[in-house]
Amino acid sequence: MDSFFIDPDISRAKTLDTSYYTSAHYFETSKEKIFAPSWQFIGSTDLMEGAGSATPVTLLDGYINEPLVLTKDKSGTMHCMSNVCTHRGNLLVAGPCKLDHLRCKYHGRLFSLDGKFLSMPEFKEVKDFPTDADNLHRLPVFQWGKMLFTSLKPGIPAEEYFGEMIKRIDWYPMDKLEYRADLSKNYTVKANWALYCENYLEGFHIPFVHAGLNQALDFGAYTTEVFRYSNLQLGTGKHPGECFTLPRSSPDHGKNIAAYYFWVFPNMMFNFYPWGLSVNLVQPTAVDQCNVSFFSFVCDESMLEVGAGNGLDAVELEDEEVVENVQKGIRSRFYDHGRYSVTREQGTHHFHSLIAQFMNK
């Protein structure tokens, strides 16, 4: 297959060809076509305690494996840069630390905290040196609340990815969210990253797979809204006491909203509950395996054990069983495509359409 096609008319469309989930070629091609141009979650400002902080980050560990470093200079400005010395490629920062500058421990090359080359021993005789190529490569940083994002090959502004989400919940107390490592978890799922995402993108399976969650959500009122590079599943709750208290400025005022399930292309989920936010990052590791990281940010601990945001570990294990079985099933010689429910699978259709768009570039 040289290209992918998803009919824009969901009532006519067929799902993504199974070769996308089974081909090593497409798995590798997706690195540059889908993931490198996208915006990716790289951590929280809680990692950076004061001026002079530096924290190494591996972007999409196990897949792209790009070594980066976050720094905060004396003015408090955040920077994201390559963590690779421009002399011989040594890693500069091995772990979280406080420092005045970045010095390579291999041959002593020195950089400022914004990545500018400062000095290098034994290089007086080198001609046409230094040049801009001797500075560390700098990447853009997009910050929303405490969350930090970057892109390896930014072509689309971050606002086009995150803008609809930020606008929809501009009332949410982002400044009160506290990262909780004790509530954050990592899972290894034996399925292609895209299968995990498309399962997330439809509530169609909730009554069949998630008995507990189905007790909290009103499936008949469950809706999906599609934007350019994101979409929203709006989870209406059965029990008002387990839902948000929404301001009049919210377009959802008057509804019993138990959860906002935002997805941002290609692999990020932002699940807002009355207790706080669960950020889910799906990281490909093999054509038939991915790692899923849950980052928990809490603003109201008293709501942790109630409603749609309760028992996330059980919901995750139920999802894993399904998508791992799908990974096995799509290898069948008797299955190439499926069809979409017009009323329940708009999010999955949107996801497949974006994959086709990016892969065909």
pLDDT tens, residue by residue, 23-70: 999 999 999 999 999 999 999 998 888 899 999 999 999 999 999 999
- Domain 40-150 superfamily per CATH: Rieske [2Fe-2S] iron-sulphur domain (2.102.10.10)
The pLDDT value given to residue 292: 97
Indicate the range of 101-105, 203-207, 268-272 predicted with least confidence: 203-207
The answer to whether 260 and 225 are in contact (CB under 8 A) is: no
CATH superfamily for domain 158-359: Naphthalene 1,2-dioxygenase Alpha Subunit; Chain A, domain 1 (3.90.380.10)
| Rounded Cα gap, residues 73 and 304, in angstroms | 36
pLDDT at 1 over 80: no
Amino acid at site 86: T
CA dihedral 259, 291, 40, 161 (to 10 degrees): -40
Q: Where in the chain is the domain with CATH 3.90.380.10?
A: 158-359
Q: Where in the chain is the domain with CATH 2.102.10.10?
A: 40-150
- The pLDDT of residue 261: 95
Could you tell me the sign of the dihedral formed by the alpha carbons of 297, 303, 305, 307, in that order?
negative
**Mean pLDDT, to the nearest integer, of 239-246?**
92
Kindly report, residue by residue over 287-296, the tens digit of the pLDDT: 999 999 999 9
One-letter identity of residue 102: L
Percent of the chain with pLDDT strictly greater than 90: 85
Q: How many Cβ atoms sit within 10 Å of the Cβ of residue 64?
A: 16
pTM over the 0.75 mark: yes
Task: Say yes or no to pLDDT of 106 above 60.
Answer: yes
What is the structure's pLDDT at 2?
Answer: 61
Range with lowest mean pLDDT among 24-28, 145-149, 210-214: 210-214
User: What's the confidence (pLDDT) of residue 209?
Assistant: 82
**pLDDT value at position 215?**
82
* 67 prior amide bond cis, ω within 30: no
Q: Please, what is the average pLDDT of the chain?
A: 95
What are the E-state strand segments in the chain? 40-44, 53-59, 66-72, 78-82, 97-98, 102-103, 110-111, 117-119, 138-139, 142-144, 147-150, 178-179, 185-189, 223-226, 230-236, 257-264, 268-273, 276-286, 289-298
